[in-house]
Amino acid sequence: MSDGKPYPLDHLVMPVADLAVARRRMSQLGFTVAADATHPFGTANACIFLADKTYLEPLVVADPAMAGAAIGDGNVFVTRDRLFRKTAEDGLSAIVALTPDAEMDHQAFLAADISGGRVLEFGRVMRLPDGAEMEARFRLAFATHPDVERLFLFGCQRLQPLPSDRGSLEAHANSVTGLKQVTLQADDPARFAGWFELVFGATSHHEGENIVIQTANRPIRIERKTNELLCARSIAFSVADLEVTAEVLAGNGVAYQRRPSGLSVMAAPGQGLSFEFEENDG
């Protein structure tokens, strides 16, 4: 919960069944993928860092025994990951706000009766392209909705940030420069607006039957879909040159459709939801 100003969208947690499959798929889509990194509670990731300082976090259960022990110890991150995997292997499980104070957020979530559990603080080693290693440390505060198992929200405070100079990891062959929009689906979008507003300190507005939550950097759109509680539909990316994107996709054998707004790639193993590629505004 922000203090007057909305938080930016920081990253998206994307469970996958196999990290090698996800790495191969993301590389085929033209993304540069960081080295695998492990968490001290049984999960591992291979992140895609974008030039707008957002990122994607493909996530796998690397050590089931360690993950199970973490769940038994009340680790909300791993517990919610397991809930997602009950019904799907690949997809989007968490939308993350960048917060300066996760403890303050946690108290706000408790007061609003949306806390998912206790604050989680941890570190992990990140290996840079030049072979150097550094430890990044995070503090997370969780917010859940009582009716939703496949999606949760949390605030991420960077205690020891990831390196700010990630130029080689932020350069992508597909010319992607950043996130443009995250789109979800629900039978009653307005039902979830307050949840997102509280976590991001944001405002929302109606677009017909749909709801748009305006974070500090990127919108989150919830579209109405009958008989759908709440789940992710697509991620839209900004690209510098749409024809470069098309050439990379075609060259790597990735099927895509041209739409008025850009290019669309259907979900596939390692990519659990639709990706949309659209040219930068202006």
DSSP character string of 141-164: EEE--TT-SS-EEEEEEEEEPPPS
Please give the CATH number for the structural domain made up of 9-170: 3.10.180.10
CA 254 to CA 116: how far, in whole Å?
38
Nearest to 12 by CA among 118, 97, 122, 131: 97
How large is the average pLDDT for residues 62-67? Answer: 97
Q: Is the pLDDT of residue 128 over 90?
A: no
**Once rounded to an integer, what is the mean pLDDT over residues 44-62?**
96
Report pLDDT for 155: 98
User: Please, what's the b/e burial string for 233-259 (b: 16 or more CB within 10 A of its CB; e: otherwise)?
Assistant: bbbbbbbeebebbbebbeeeebebeee
What is the pLDDT at residue 162? 64
Mean pLDDT of 99-111: 97
pLDDT of residue 282: 52
* Measured CA angle at 249 (ends 25, 217), to 5 deg: 75
Q: In which band, very low, low, confident or very high, does the pLDDT at 134 lie, cut at 50, 70 and 90?
A: confident
pLDDT value, residue 240: 97
Provide the pLDDT for residue 207: 95
CA distance 104 to 176: 34
Instruction: With a cut of 60, say whether residue 2 has pLDDT above it.
Output: no
Helix (H) or strand (E) holding 196: helix 193-200
Instruction: Over range 53-62, report the average pLDDT.
Output: 97
Per-residue pLDDT tens over the stretch 40-51: 999 999 999 999
Q: What pLDDT score was predicted for residue 1?
A: 55
pLDDT (average), residues 133-147: 89
Q: Residue 126 carries which side chain, given as an amino acid letter?
A: M
Could you tell me whether strands 48-49 and 55-61 are parallel, antiparallel, or unpaired per DSSP bridges?
antiparallel
CATH number of this structure's domain 176-279, picked from the four choices 3.10.180.10, 3.30.470.10, 3.30.70.100, 1.10.3720.10: 3.10.180.10
> Using only C-alpha atoms, what is the Rg of the chain?
18
Helix (H) or strand (E) holding 20: helix 19-28
| pLDDT exceeds 80 at position 281 | no
pLDDT for res 131: 66
pTM: 0.94
- Of 194, 93, 192, nearest to 149 by C-alpha is 93
Phi, psi of 198 (to 5 degrees): -70, -45
Tens-digit pLDDT profile for residues 184-241:
999 999 999 999 999 999 999 999 999 999 999 999 999 999 888 899 999 999 999 9
Contact 169, 126 (CB under 8 A): no
CATH 3.10.180.10 residue ranges of the chain are 9-170, 176-279
Average pLDDT, the chain: 93
